[in-house]
Amino acid sequence: MSSADQANRAEPFWLREHLVPHLDLPADLPVHFVDEKTVTATDLDARQNRFCLPNNGVLRNLRPILTAKQLQAANLRYEEDDDAPAADEQERIRKKKRKRRCVGGVGGLPVLVVDVSAGIVELEMSRGPATSVKGEGYMDFIADCSFTVGDVVQIWAFNPRFSPLCLVINKKPKQTLS
């Protein structure tokens, strides 16, 4: 990785200075770069009501920091996972998820999603055709982020031991030509 790539992947300054102390977390908590993506029209569409995470980043960078229970809740387990539940257990879980959806729950892994402008909202992360974060309050949160189609954002994650997974979505400044 070039030094320019390294600089482009520096965690947001406010993450350690403001967010970590605000959440009363240890200053040395590991923070992981998940991926970078361009905001799409569907990320901002009220009918879609979800923010898609880049699949490569989820597979390579996010899955390794999740516990087995978190992988299960987010539907991110795969057959090759060492301690994946047996087939009959997976069917029981699927039925339970279907029942939960029918009651009105979104289903998924509870996550805190953070943006410097919008603050913090608790949503749920799950994999369907794509891995996404969604839930009540998503549209208000995304509107407060002031994202527009074409904005480039970086996604960072940290997984405190006794708190929900945190996903930080940080808008990169637009590059200007000199």
The model's pLDDT over 17-26, given as tens digits with 9 standing for 90+, comes to 999 999 999 9
CATH number reported for the structural domain that contains residue 40 in this entry: 2.40.330.10
Domain contains 89: yes
Domain tally, the chain: 1
Please answer whether residues 53 and 35 qualify as being in contact, where contact means their C-beta atoms are separated by less than 8 angstroms.
yes
3-class secondary-structure state, position 108: coil
Exposed / middle / buried, residue 93 (Cβ in 10 Å: 0-12, 13-18, 19+): middle
> Is 153 part of any domain?
yes
Whether the CB-CB separation of 16 and 27 falls below 8 Å is answered with yes
Domain region containing 95: 3-171
3-class DSSP state for residue 130? coil
| Residue 178 domain-assigned (yes or no) | no
In a domain, 86, yes or no: yes
Question: pLDDT tens for residues 51-80?
Answer: 999 999 999 999 999 999 999 999 998 765
